[in-house]
Amino acid sequence: MISEPILQIFGSNVQKYRKERQLSQEKLAELAGLHRTYIGMIERAEKNITLCNIEKIAKALNIEIKDLLEVSIK
């Protein structure tokens, strides 16, 4: 399955910020009020999530929504 670039960017950023905060997928899911497997699917760019869930994840990570959409240059 080939995912959209925006989903890959978003998923990578969720994973980056989650790991920076030393959170497991399970803990992030708990903080955001979402299911653990859902977080995994987001990080793997398998889910096109709603704006409401984007906001929940940003709040759980204590970052702004725009931070989850930043393109990182490697």
Each residue's pLDDT expressed in tens, for the chain with a length of 74 residues: 567 999 999 999 999 999 999 999 999 999 999 999 999 999 999 999 999 999 999 999 999 999 999 997 65
**If you ran DSSP here, which 8-state letter would residue 49 be given?**
-
- CA-CA-CA-CA torsion for 3, 7, 8, 10, nearest 10 degrees? -170
pTM score of the predicted model: 0.91
Fold of 5-64: 434 Repressor (Amino-terminal Domain) (1.10.260)
Q: In whole angstroms, what is the distance from residue 62 CA to residue 74 CA?
A: 24
Cα three-residue angle 11-21-10, rounded to 5 degrees: 15
Are the CB atoms for 31 and 60 separated by under 8 Å?
Answer: yes
